[in-house]
Amino acid sequence: MPKPHGGKLIERIIKGKRKERLLKEAEEIEKITVEKGVAADIENIAKGVYSPLEGFMTREELETVLHLKRLPNDIPWTLPILLDLPKDLEGSIKEGDDVTLTYRESPLAIMHIDEIYPFNKKEIAEYTFETTDEKHPGVAKVYRMAGKFIAGKIDLIDEPEGPYDRYKLSPKETRYLFRQKGWKTIVGFQTRNPPHLGHEYLQKTALTFLDGVFINPVIGTKKKGDFKDEVILQAYEILIERYYLKNHAVLAILPYEMRYAGPREAVHHAIMRKNFGCTHFIVGRDHAGVGNYYKPYAAQEIFEEFPDLGIAPLFFKTFFYCRKCGGITHEKACPHSDEYRLKFSGTRIREILRSGKLPPRELMRPEIAEVIIKNPNPFVE
Amino acid sequence: MEMSEKKEEEKKKFTTISIPTPLFEKIKERIKGTGFTSVSSYVTYVLRELLAEKEEEEEPFTKEDEERIKARLRALGYID
């Protein structure tokens, strides 16, 4: 199993008497209300999913991440993890202060402020997303942030509760679990969709030479038209129960807000799975992309810049069903032309499901499709 | 930020090391037609790769951690 990113699994969760004391203190100090995505970042920092980060980024960290795709100590890191200072709190919070980060009106964490700094949001967008187009959801989010950022370590005092907590594991827990199962090689699979047969084929191809698959759907804020969390989980439950060997697959959620940063986010996804204990990570076509902002395989090419990442990316080309081959195959294995190929187009499958019909069984298992269409509204509105 | 300040900032992010000139020339030849744009980027890549191989084994779990984790995984149905 690989060492956590940066060498040490971060754990910044306050327990016991210290928690009681901090909860009391949290009421008395200045508060910053955070939204769901930031709450997920806080939880991920505290549990070590973002190891070696211990808090929100300083100016120096942000600069090296943007320009060098690394932290100041040369550890690969590609996405800015930022907290902006609400305009109405400017002046009442200063460096050296502690603040309470609240979520849904409850104290979530204490932040120890090391630095407050302004930064050019256009520069953040340009380097992170390779575009400054406001139509890009990640860029739009950066532009909505206030002009100043606050940096410093956080301590989680109360874990945010969610409806899918029974699927939530920390890196410490997955590392223990993988060891218990006797897995030495583990492939991480990132998803935000219910599985079609292309996904299943990807995972099982990896399973032919690795010990276990860690299916880790992203749960949290999504964009309109994405599948709802409950649908993704129900679909995977059925798939694993009926078509996987119990001792070779683990399903657990990742509370996280997608940035849609394409190549940079693919590396971030790999780092998170390394922290969970994965040795390998599947990177598909247009991983973490949106619209036409990234070249189809840019998210695979970026990995060439990181010989020291500590997790091996597995690159797959597009899979499809070939009527002549009579099965799922890919460009390197199938000699037949396009007319025989049924492609796993997410958009197309979504359209069929939206109309209440079952997609062809060559593309999606009927049991999975039924789970989706039985839901009165399987998509985010 | 002014141009001179930017250059200063850049300087802080990199430093110079010396390697024998024949080795430099050899690397220059080696990287022709590859994705590497300079000898520096190649040397950086190789060194990072080499250093990453030296990572030590993971620290073991404490007894307390192990008990807590085991109980939770069992309660959630991940282990029997």
d(CA B62, CA A248): 26
A282-295 pLDDT, tens digit per residue, is 998 889 888 899 99
Please give the ipTM for the structure prediction. Answer: 0.85
- Digit-coded pLDDT (tens) for A66-97: 999 999 999 999 999 999 999 999 989 999 99
Chains A & B: contacts with CB separation below 8 Å: 54
Q: Considering the candidates A59, A193, A285, A375, report the single residue annotated as catalytic.
A: A193
Going from N- to C-terminal start, the domains of chain B cover 21-51
Taking residues A2-11, report their average pLDDT.
92
pLDDT at residue A326 is higher than 90? yes
Report whether pLDDT(A246) > 90.
no
pLDDT reported for residue B10: 61
Chain A interface residues facing chain B, Cβ-Cβ under 8 Å? 1-4, 7-8, 63-64, 67-68, 74, 166-167, 169, 172-173, 175-177, 180, 250, 304, 306-310
Nearest CA in chain B to A275: B58
Residue B6, chain A, CB below 8 Å: the answer is no
**For range A223-251, the mean pLDDT:** 93
What is the C-alpha to C-alpha distance for residues A251 and A177, in angstroms, rounded to an integer?
12
Mean pLDDT in residue range A366-375: 95
Cis status, amide bond into B20, omega within 30 of 0:
no
The alpha carbon of residue A75 is apart from the nearest alpha carbon of chain B, in Å, by 10
Chain A residues touching B41 at Cβ < 8 A: none
To 10 degrees, what angle do helices A59-68 and A121-129 make? 40
Residue A223: pLDDT over 80: no
Q: Do A3 and B56 touch (CB under 8 A)?
A: yes
> Cβ contacts of residue A42 below 8 Å, gap of 6+?
A34, A101, A103, A108, A109, A154, A156
Structure confidence by residue, pLDDT tens digits, B37-69: 899 989 998 888 888 766 555 667 889 889 999
Q: Which superfamily is assigned to A5-156 in CATH?
A: Sulfate adenylyltransferase (3.10.400.10)
Nearest to A186 by CA among A69, A312, A73, A304: A312
Per-residue pLDDT, averaged over A91-106, amounts to 93
Asked if B65 is an interface residue toward chain A (Cβ–Cβ < 8 A), one would say: yes
- Tell me the shortest Cα–Cα distance from A275 to chain B, in angstroms: 11
Compare all CA atoms of chain A with the CA of B1 and give the residue at the minimum distance.
A120
Give one DSSP letter per residue of B4-19, joined into a string: HHHHHHHHHH------
Residues A256-290 pLDDT 10s: 999 999 999 999 999 999 999 999 999 988 898 88
Query: Is residue A160 over pLDDT 90?
Result: no
A181 Cβ neighbours under 8 A, 6+ residues apart? A211, A212, A247, A250
* Distance (Å) from the alpha carbon of A165 to chain B's nearest alpha carbon: 9
Active site residue A120: no
A-chain residues near B57 (CB < 8 A)? 3
Percent of chain B exceeding pLDDT 70 equals: 76
pLDDT digits (tens, 9 = 90+) for A191-209: 999 999 999 999 999 999 9
Interface contact A74-B70, CB threshold 8 A: no
Q: What is the model's pLDDT at position B12?
A: 65
Identify each DSSP E strand in chain A by its residue range.
Answer: 31-33, 55-56, 98-103, 106-112, 115-118, 148-156, 186-191, 212-219, 249-251, 254-255, 280-283, 312-315, 319-322, 327-330, 341-343
Mean pLDDT of chain A: 94
Q: Give the residue ranges of DSSP H helices in chain B.
A: 3-13, 21-30, 39-53, 63-75
Reported confidence tier of residue A138, pLDDT bands at 50, 70, 90: very high
Domain limits, chain A: 5-156, 165-258+317-374
Which H helix or E strand runs over A65? helix A59-68
As a whole number of angstroms, the longest Cα–Cα distance in chain A is 70
Grade residue B80 by pLDDT with cuts at 50, 70 and 90: confident
Which pLDDT belongs to residue B14? Answer: 83
Report the C-alpha gap between A135 and A139 in whole angstroms: 7
DSSP letter (8 states) at residue A118? E
A165-258+317-374 placed in CATH 3.40.50.620: yes
